[in-house]
């Protein structure tokens, strides 16, 4: 562990620079990535599901809940234990008869083997309620695992679409550089023909420089979005992976459907809604178990033993939750069977407080379930509206792009023919760049909105 500077110590240039701690270690080895493969979205999601820590955490939690359910089932079965004991005893006593006395010494040793059985036969449903609670929590863990995978798929999808949008903007900037250089070449040609001015040439050169700067910035944004995608997948930023281009995808607006139908069909399919219901069922079962704990319990206990040797023992005291072992005689077999009823009588109100607390938690879980359904409906309606808006924006952006391209082509052709000013063609170029970016953003915003709606309705899978 590196030493931390003491307040008030003399200042140095590297005062707040810690020494390297070798126990931290390097980054773990990344996955085997095929450098020749171009990874599509489905491939990236598959990698993320195998590598992201969130899914591993959810998997471990689901396994823990399954183990707890097995523990609850074991409460219905008898508990059988075995023990072997060995001992040594030494004693002495003084005896006298007819005036003659003496001291007697006795050394004894022996071993005892014990088998103990305990079985709770009837408890008015306490164990059954505990099993129902464990089963509900096991379902909660399974649903949490599903939700973790869906959220991971959503995060990777959004990061992928953002990276694709950044790459598309980079391609648009590269085309803008080509267009600006062509305009600059036309300006130089006009100047040499005597129909242009130095100012026009300088303006065209300035436009080329601006386009080159935009390309540099777009390249940096694409690199940043690539790092964000790796982080969403759970990969190290040092990994190198080739991302495949997104194929042309057309989202049909008529497939959206009415928002009421979407909400009603999706509520019962969302993992968080089902989790809230499972949590409510678990809390109800906990309240039932707490209530049943106040009632009598019928049990049976049995022991079997064999005492070898001469140890003088009447009984072996209980160890842990075992019953005491009685009926012990040296060099003999022994057995005891006991049956009884345990009735809780008075504990100062502790059991009543436990029951009231369990019922309060059940009421709170019911309220949380209703709140989750309302929040789910809001998320679905919002995602539905965002997708509808994005689809309309995409249609409008494509119309704008076509118009801007036509204007730019006409302005460029006229400029090359010696008609028009440099400012006109540069304005057309800026409008074309803006239209390209708007069309790109609209397309990938629609794809992201579609992924968000799929998550909201609980229908997001790795192949979406």
What's the confidence (pLDDT) of residue 289? Answer: 92
308 and 280 in a single domain? The answer is no
What's the confidence (pLDDT) of residue 247? Answer: 84
Task: Tell me if 130 is assigned to some domain.
Answer: yes
89 and 153 in a single domain? The answer is no
Tally of domains within the chain: 2
Q: How far apart are CA 334 and CA 303, in angstroms?
A: 8
- Cβ distance 440 to 169 under 8 Å? yes
Task: Tell me if 24 is assigned to some domain.
Answer: no
Nearest to 133 by CA among 351, 279, 291: 279
92 and 236 in a single domain? The answer is no
Task: Tell me if 18 is assigned to some domain.
Answer: no
113 and 254 in a single domain? The answer is no
Ramachandran area for residue 243 (φ above 0: left; ψ -120 to 50: alpha; else beta): beta
Residue 133 clears pLDDT 70, i.e. is over it: yes
**Region 383-402: what's the mean pLDDT?**
92
Task: Tell me if 5 is assigned to some domain.
Answer: no
Q: Tell me: the pLDDT tens digits for 14-33?
A: 667 888 888 877 776 666 77
49 and 107 in a single domain? The answer is no
Q: At a CB cut-off of 8 Å and minimum separation 6, what does 38 contact?
A: 242, 243, 244
Task: Tell me if 10 is assigned to some domain.
Answer: no
What's the confidence (pLDDT) of residue 13? Answer: 62
Q: At a CB cut-off of 8 Å and minimum separation 6, what does 74 contact?
A: none
279 and 302 in a single domain? The answer is no
329 and 392 in a single domain? The answer is no
Task: Tell me if 91 is assigned to some domain.
Answer: yes
250 and 337 in a single domain? The answer is no
184 and 217 in a single domain? The answer is yes
Q: Tell me: the pLDDT tens digits for 223-254?
A: 999 999 999 998 888 888 899 988 877 776 66
Domain span at residue 89?
81-96+103-121+297-343
Task: Tell me if 150 is assigned to some domain.
Answer: yes
Q: Tell me: the pLDDT tens digits for 63-96?
A: 888 888 888 888 888 888 887 777 776 666 666 5
What's the confidence (pLDDT) of residue 261? Answer: 81
The confidence band for 314, taking pLDDT boundaries of 50, 70 and 90, is low
Mean pLDDT of the chain: 84
Q: At a CB cut-off of 8 Å and minimum separation 6, what does 442 contact?
A: 390, 393, 394, 396, 397, 398
200 and 135 in a single domain? The answer is yes
- Cβ distance 211 to 26 under 8 Å? no
Last residue of a domain, one of 326, 343, 360: 343
Task: Tell me if 6 is assigned to some domain.
Answer: no
CATH of the domain at 393: 1.20.1600.10
289 and 309 in a single domain? The answer is no
Query: Which pTM was predicted?
Result: 0.80
Last residue of a domain, one of 343, 362, 379: 343
What's the confidence (pLDDT) of residue 99? Answer: 58
314 and 451 in a single domain? The answer is no
């Amino acid at each position: 562990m590196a030493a931390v500077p003491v307040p008030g110590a003399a200042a140095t240039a590297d005062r707040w620079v810690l020494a390297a701690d070798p126990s931290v270690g390097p980054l773990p080895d990344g996955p085997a990535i095929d450098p020749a493969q171009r990874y599509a979205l489905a491939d990236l999601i598959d990698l993320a599901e195998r590598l992201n820590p969130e899914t591993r955490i959810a998997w471990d939690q689901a396994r823990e809940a399954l183990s707890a359910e097995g523990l609850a089932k074991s409460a219905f079965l008898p508990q059988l234990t075995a023990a072997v004991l060995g001992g040594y005893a030494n004693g002495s006593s003084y005896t006298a008869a007819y005036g003659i006395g003496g001291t007697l010494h006795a050394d004894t040793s022996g071993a005892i083997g014990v088998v103990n059985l305990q079985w709770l036969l009837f408890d008015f449903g306490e164990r059954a309620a505990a099993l129902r609670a464990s089963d509900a929590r096991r379902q909660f863990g399974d649903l949490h695992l599903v939700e973790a995978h869906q959220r991971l798929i959503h995060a990777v999808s959004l990061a992928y679409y953002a990276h694709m949008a950044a790459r598309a903007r980079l391609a648009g900037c590269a085309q803008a550089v080509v267009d600006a250089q062509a305009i600059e070449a036309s300006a130089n040609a006009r100047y040499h023909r005597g129909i242009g001015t130095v100012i026009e040439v300088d303006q065209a050169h300035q436009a080329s420089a601006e386009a080159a700067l935009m390309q540099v910035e777009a390249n940096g944004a694409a690199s940043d979005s690539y790092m964000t995608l790796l982080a969403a997948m759970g990969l190290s930023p040092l990994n190198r992976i080739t991302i495949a281009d997104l194929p042309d995808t057309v989202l049909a607006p008529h497939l959206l459907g009415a928002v009421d139908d979407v909400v009603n069909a999706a509520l019962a399919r969302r993992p968080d809604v089902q989790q809230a219901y499972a949590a409510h069922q678990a809390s109800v079962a906990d309240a039932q178990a707490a209530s049943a704990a106040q009632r009598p319990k019928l049990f049976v206990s049995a022991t079997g033993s064999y005492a070898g040797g001469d140890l003088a023992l009447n009984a072996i005291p209980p160890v842990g939750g075992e019953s005491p072992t009685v009926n012990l005689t040296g060099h003999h077999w022994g057995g005891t069977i006991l049956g009884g009823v345990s009735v809780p009588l008075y504990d100062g109100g502790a059991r009543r407080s436990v029951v009231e607390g369990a019922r309060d938690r059940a009421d709170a879980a019911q309220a949380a379930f209703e709140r989750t359904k309302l929040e789910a409906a809001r998320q679905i309606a919002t995602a539905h509206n965002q997708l509808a808006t994005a689809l309309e924006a995409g249609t409008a952006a494509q119309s704008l792009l076509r118009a801007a391209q036509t204007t730019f082509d006409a302005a460029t052709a006229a400029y090359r023919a010696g008609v028009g000013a440099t400012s006109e063609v540069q304005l057309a170029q800026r409008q074309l760049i803006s239209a390209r970016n708007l069309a790109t953003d609209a397309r990938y915003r629609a794809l992201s909105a579609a992924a968000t709606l799929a998550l909201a309705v609980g229908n997001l899978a790795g192949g979406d």
